[in-house]
Amino acid sequence: MAGGKLYGSCRCWGRQIITRYLVSKKLPRPLNAHIVGGNHMNIKKQDSHLPDYALVERQEMMRGIGYDDEALERLQIGVVSSWGEINPAAIHLDRVVSAVKAGVWAAGGTPREFVISSICTSMAGNDNYHLPHRDLVASYIETVAKTNLFDGMVFVPVCDDVIPGHLMAAARLNLPSVAVTGGYMQLNRHKKVILDPLDIAPKYHAEFKNGKISADEYCRIKNRGCPGIGACPVMGTANTMAAMAEALGMSLPYNASVPGADSRLQRLAFQAGQQVVRLHREGIKPSDIMTFDAFKNAIRVLMAIGGSTNGVLHLQAIASELDLDLEPETFNQLSKETPFICDVAPSGSGEHLLGDFDEAGGLPSVMKELQPLLDTGVMTITGNSLKDNLDTAETGDRSVIYPLDAPLAPEGGLVFLRGNLAPEGALIKQSAVPAEMFRHKGPARIFPTEEAACEALIADEIVPGTIVIVRYVGPKGDPGMRLLQRFLWLVAAKGLQEKIAFLTDGRFSGTNKGCAVAHITPEAADGGPLAVVADDDIIEIDIPNEKLDINISPQELKTRLASWKLPKKGAQKGYLAIYARTAKSADKGAALNYRDT
């Protein structure tokens, strides 16, 4: 093998690319073992501070992995992915990583691969682990990167809470970094109708149980329902966060709209591997890219695309790693100033999926349309400003990406509500709320769990007009702030989105739609007003006026809160016990509070 480098760990695709490249070109070498030349400055490698005896020890261990002297001299680039055999969205990421590693080798670096697998929110396991997993991912990556003295990082994540975990790690480490998000599934069809994997349980299973489709047809649907290789192809949390990575400037243009099985993703990954080496030579770090102005751009994009409610707390958690505060008021102000222009399900008409978004020009076309509202002077991982990147973007398909002067709605997709039921805020995705439910008043019905609410809905025991409440599922109360997605899927399957509202201090899936208010703060476990709502209390949701109230007197509310006691729960063990004790509130990103403040 040319140069005697470590290629055994690369997949076949990567080996072929690397071999052809090495045969045809002489790779650039660093100036010496510790200093890498750049166009603007000299940047020391992370192991340059080691005394000779420690450096010899380190390099000897790396020789044991299979690296030769030239590989040891190069920049050491950590390449972390969320590949694994536990999530259909991540099953292809080994090939994406091979392309990244080929790009790193080609640019003169040495890639060092490691994995922390993503988890799927639809596995129906213990759902309260998903958000804490985000912070676990960030901490694991930090640990591996620090102990190995990586000089730069390429992040290859996919899925809801995983992409923000990687971006949190990028911000915390502040090493030259590039993100390559893993794309989305390209769906199969049944009788010329697109099969959404998230419809199999609430829709087709119900049709089979009710005798509307045969067992054979149901079997055919199940076998074609989830093709894998990427996230679910709607503007749910996974694709929202891929868009946020690109909007922040941390991934290459068009990454967020490329399907997982498309060879364009392989080519982007190769470019990302090359680019991280260039970023190191230029001395460009995440803190130079993810500035407050870049976050404001990302928030505007979040509002314009009708992104997931989870995008809010994830952006807050990422920003916190850079000592930046994104307050709810910032989101509301930017939402008021930013029209909703992207018609991709579950927002808007619901007729378009991510494939349509890709065909319409992807995120660069959205940002091109938003350009008058954006700070285009911010730096991106291309090494160019956002303005430079957008110069080549084209105007998108107007049936998917609307013009600023004729938007789907004059304000953004998300808004915080406040009132006596949510003194510190509650979040709603107004772009996914039926027009009839923008102002809704109805009686509360309390359920101890989402499962209990689902059973009542299936049994037709929830009357139209009801406001269903599931509480004690916030960051501390659950603990973990679980996703309450299945109730809303069932509401949609039964055609009751214009008749039933849902309130919680937990979270919803980005795939959900309907009049659904989440992230209610203070959460019930902190003694917030949500804890003392009783059955048949009248709740008022007023989206235009950003209000969420319970119609009882201030004195009655005060009396109830004074007599409230936290319900007893079994002792929590393991990681969730740590999360429960240290998590911030939902309006602060629900991340681990590892600082003194």
> What single DSSP character describes residue 300?
H
Q: Which amino acid is at 130?
A: H
Please give the distance of CA 323 from its chain centroid, rounded to a whole number: 20
Place of tokens 């985000």: 134
Spatial neighbors of 201 by CB under 8 A, at least 6 apart, are 486, 489
Per-residue burial over 496-527, b = 16 or more CB atoms within 10 Å of its CB, e = otherwise:
ebebbbbbbbbbbbbbbbbbbbbbbbbbbbbe
Buried b (16+ CB within 10 A) or exposed e, 108-131: bbbbbbebbbbbbbbeeeebbbbb
Q: Are 345 and 418 in contact (CB under 8 A)?
A: no
> What's the full length of the chain, in residues?
597
Handedness of CA 41, 47, 49, 51 (dihedral sign): negative
Which residues touch 181 (CB under 8 Å, ≥6 apart)?
156, 157, 158, 163, 241, 242, 245, 246, 251, 255, 256
CA-derived radius of gyration, the chain: 25
> Hey, what amino acid is at 426?
A
Q: Edge-to-edge, what's the strand order for the sheet holding 75-81?
A: 109-115, 75-81, 152-156, 177-179
Q: Where are the beta strands (DSSP E) in 460-586?
A: 467-470, 501-504, 516-521, 538-542, 547-550
Secondary structure (DSSP) of 479-513 = TS--B--HHHHHHHHTT-TTT-EEEESSB--TT--
Inter-residue contact 181 to 154 (CB < 8 Å):
no
Q: Does the active-site annotation cover 509?
A: yes
Q: Phi and psi at residue 176, in whole multiples of 5°? A: -50, 125
What is the C-alpha to C-alpha distance for residues 366 and 400, in angstroms, rounded to an integer? 10
| Rounded Cα–Cα distance for residues 8 and 528 (Å) | 56
Q: CA torsion angle for 443, 446, 451, 456 (degrees, to 10)? A: -50
Q: Could you say which of 118, 335, 509, 585 is catalytic?
A: 509
Where b means 16+ CB within 10 Å and e means fewer, 444-457 reads bbbbeebeebbebb
Instruction: Give the helix ranges, DSSP H, for 377-485.
Output: 386-390, 450-458
CA–CA gap between residue 227 and residue 104 (Å, rounded): 30
Distance separating alpha carbons of residues 525 and 390, to the nearest angstrom = 46
| Rounded CA separation 585/590 (Å) | 5
- Supply the residues annotated as catalytic: 509
